Amino acid sequence: MQPIAPASLSPWVPGVFSLIVYFLVVAVLIGVLLFLSAWLGEKKPNVEKSRAYESGIIPTGTARLRYPVPFYLVAIFFLIFNVEGAYIFAWAVAWEDLGWKGWLQISFFITVLLLGLFYIWRKGGLEWGPEAKNR
């Protein structure tokens, strides 16, 4: 005796079958358009077409620039505080459902972040500019 598959897993359910057909039609259309554009497209290579596009500015020099450390510090602080903001926003959306347990958890989270911020501040990670270099 063979097991009977549930109707929801069968590819012949009208919603699933139409989705498969739609995916195949889109894939074939994309393939045809890419082939036609590569085959019929005009090919005149020159220096301007092979140059990297830099928002209309002609690139000069090497692309290997040495960024100063404060650039990376700003980038890291930006990422940290964006992630913090995302967690706090998610908590704020669900604060009624989370109750006191959620409040204690987000308070601990913010406390750890503040301790990290104070540690960075004490170590001089927030001091940038010419006066920071003289110390």
78: which residues sit within 8 A by CB, 6+ positions away?
A: none
Q: Tell me yes or no: is domain 69-133 CATH 3.40.250.10.
A: no
Quick: pLDDT tens for 11-40. Answer: 566 678 888 999 999 999 999 999 999 999
At 40 the pLDDT is: 92
Distance of alpha carbon 1 from alpha carbon 18, whole angstroms? 31
Distance of alpha carbon 108 from alpha carbon 113, whole angstroms? 9
Residue spans per domain, the chain: 69-133
Report the residue count for the chain.
Answer: 135
80: which residues sit within 8 A by CB, 6+ positions away?
A: 113
Conformational region of residue 61, where left means phi above 0, alpha means psi within -120 to 50, and beta covers everything else: left
At 97 the pLDDT is: 92
At 2 the pLDDT is: 61
Conformational region of residue 36, where left means phi above 0, alpha means psi within -120 to 50, and beta covers everything else: alpha
Q: Which pTM was predicted?
A: 0.45
Quick: pLDDT tens for 43-55. Answer: 888 887 777 777 7
**What are the angstrom distances between the C-alpha of 28 and each of 21, 24, 32, 33, 40?**
11, 6, 6, 9, 18
Percent of the chain with pLDDT over 70: 84
The average confidence (pLDDT) of the chain is 81
The pair of structure tokens assigned to 127 is 């001091």
| CB distance 111 to 82 below 8 Å | no
Residue 80's pLDDT band (cuts 50, 70, 90): confident
